[in-house]
Chain A
Amino acid sequence: MKLTKPLAALLGLGLAGAVLTGCSSQAGAQSTSAPANAKVTLTVLSPLVVETPSGDVEKAYAAEYQKLHPNVTIEFIGVPMNDAYAKISTLATGGQMPDIFINSPEFSAKAKQLGIVADMDKLLGADYLKGFAKAPLDQAKLGGKTQFAPYFTIPTGLLYRSDLFKQAGITPPTTWSAFEADAKKLTVDTNNDGQTDRWGFAMVGTNDGSGGSRFIPVMRTFGAKELVKSGSSWTTQFDSAGAIKAFKLYGDLVNKDHAVPPGPLQTGYAQANALLATDKAAMMITGPHTIGAILTQNPALKGKLAGAPLPHAPGEKSVSVLGMLGWSVSQDSKHQQAAADYIKFVLDKKNQLAFNAATGRFPTRNDALADPQVNRPELKGFIAAQDNAFILPAVPYYANLQVIAGGDYQQVILNKMTPEQAAKDAAEQTKKSISDNG
C-alpha cells in the first residue's frame, strides 16, 4: 500500500503527537509518585571495600539494604586508604562528589574547609547521635558540629604473636627498652641455615600515612607531641628530647638491634601484616583490624595473635590513636536523607557486630559495644589501649605531618641524619606547614 504525501504527513503528525502525549503522561506519573519509591542510586566512596575481609562485609550490607529497599542501588567507589583523601579532594574540586564518603579526624578539617560535608547533626538527628560512644563522637566533631558518623575505631596498640612470646618466655613489653630486648630475642634463625628468617618487629617504614600514623603515637609515648595548641595558634614538639628518642628508637631497631625484616622503608601496612601472616615477624604496631587481615591470609594463626597497649618511655604514659573512620554525607548529594538512612543501616547493632567479627574493628554504637563478642580475649589489649586514646589536632594539614615524620625517620634509618638532625628537620617542616596554613 502506498501512502500519498499529505496522508503520510498527517499520520506522522498523529504518531508524533501520540508519542509526545505518552511521554508527558509518563513524566506526570513519575512526578506524582511517592519519593520513597523513586529510583535512587547512592554512590559510596570506601577504602574498606577494596580490603579483605572488610570488603566482603560491606558488599553484604549493600546487598541486604538493596533487598530491603528495592528502589535503592548502592554503587561503591573503591579507593585504597592511602589514596582516599586525594581522591575525595579531586572529586570535590570536579563537582563529582559521591553521596557518601569516608571521613576521619585526620581529614575532617580539610573536608570542612572544602565545604563538602552535609549537616550531619540534622541528617542523623540528636537522638540517634546519643547512641554513639562518647570518645569517637567527640573526635567526629569540629566546632561542636558532627562531621561524620563514626563507623569503627581501631585503637593503635602492639599486635604480637602470643605463641612466640610464650615460647620465648616473655610477656608483652610495657617500656621501649623491654620492647627492644624482646624484639632482639624474637629475631631468630628458625631453620638453622645460618640466616635470620624471623624478625622481632615488622616496622611500617614507608613515608606515607601508614608509616607516619604509627610513628606519631610512638613519639607521644616519649612525651613529644606533633602539634600543641599555643594560644590561638599551633606549635610543635618534633624537636624535643622525646621526639629525638623516638627517632633514635626507629634507627636502633633497624641498625643496632637488627630486629626488623630487610627493606623496612618499602614495608607498608599490607607488607607488614603479610610478614606476620607468613611467620616472618612477631610484632607490629597496628590496631585490632590487622588480626582479621592476618587470619584471612593464614587461618592457622587463629588464637596465636593478641594485642597490648603501646610501650612507653620511663615516666611517660602509653598512648593510642583511635584510628577512626566514619561516614559523611556529601553536601552536593541529591539524596542526603537516603544516604543518612543507609549509614544508619550500616551502623545498626547487627551489622556493627558482623563487621567486628570479620575484621576485629571496634563498633562505635553503645549497643554493639556492650555485646560480649567485642570483649573477646584477642581484643582485650586493644580495648585497654583505647583508654589511652588522644584526640588528633583538627588541622587541615595533619596528613602532611605524617609524611614529614615519615621522611625524617627514613633519614635516621639510612644513617643520613642523626636523630637530633631529623627531629630538627621535622620541626622546621612542621612550622612551615603551620605558617603556610595561617
Chain B
Amino acid sequence: MSVAINPAAAAAVTTPEARRSKDPKESYRPNWTTTILLILASLTVLIPLYFAIAMSLKTAAEAASGTGLTWPWPMQFGNFAEAWTLTDFPRAFIISLLISVVSVAGAIVLSSLASYAIARNWEHRGFRYSYFYLLAAMFIPFPVIALPQIKLTAAVGLDNPLGVALLHIMFQLSFSVLLYSAFLRSIPHELEESARIDGASTWQVFWKLIFPLLAPMNATVGIFAFLASWNDFMMPSLITADSRLQTLPVVQNIFQQQFNTEYNVAFASYLMAMAPTILVYIFAQRWVLSGVTRGAIK
C-alpha cells in the first residue's frame, strides 16, 4: 500500500545510497550487534515457514501431537499428492492465475489510459474532477459496498471469477491512477510534441511512446495488482457463487469446514498455496522490491 509523497522524496531516496556506495570498502565495518538482533528477529518470519514445511511432511499422527516443530523422518511427500487432489489444485491454481492476469492487465491498461487523459487535460474541469472521482474510492473499502455488489454481480451473471477480476481492477484503480498520474507529470511534453510533428496520432503516441516510458510504473502497478488479486480471500469467497470456481486461498477452507484431523495434508496444501508467490518473490526479489519501493515513495 502506499501514498503520494512529495516527488522530491523519490529523487532524494536514490542519492544518499548512491553516495554511500562510493565510500571505500574498508570503511564498511558491519555492526554485529544489530546484525545478530535482526537475525533473531527474522526467526519470527522463518519459524512459521519452517513449521509449515515440517508439518506438511509428517504423518497424520505426528501432525496431531506435540508442538509440530520437530522435523519429521521419514518425510511424507505423499501429503502433497493428497492435498493436490483434495483441493483440486490445478483448477484452483488456474482460476487464481486467470483472475490475477486479468486484474493486472486490466489495472495497467485502464488506469494508464485514464491517467494519461487526465494528466494531459488537467486544466479541463471534467478531467480534473474525474481524477478526484476515481481517487475517492480509496475511502470506500469493499465491506461498505459488498452487499449490493454481491447482488449486482449475481444479477448480471458476473458472480464468477471474471466478476472477481473486474472488482479487483476497480478497487486497484484509485491507487494505480495515483501512481501513473504522479509519474506522467514528470514526462516532458516536448517528447510527445516531437512525435506529433512526425505525424503520430494520440493513440500512437500513447502506445509507442508513453506506454513504454511508463514501464517502471507498469511494473509497480502490476506487482501491487497481482499481490492484491492473487492473495485476496474476501472478494472471491463472497462474489463467486460456484464453489468449484474458487481461488487457491479460498479452497483452503475445506480443511476448516469439515471435522478434520489431517493437519499434515492441510499444511501441505497451505504450503502449495503459499509457494507460487514466495518462489516468484525469491527469484525476482530485487525487481519486486524496487517496484514496491517505487510505489511506496510516489
Do A and B originate from a single complex?
no
Chain B residues near A (Cβ < 8 Å): none
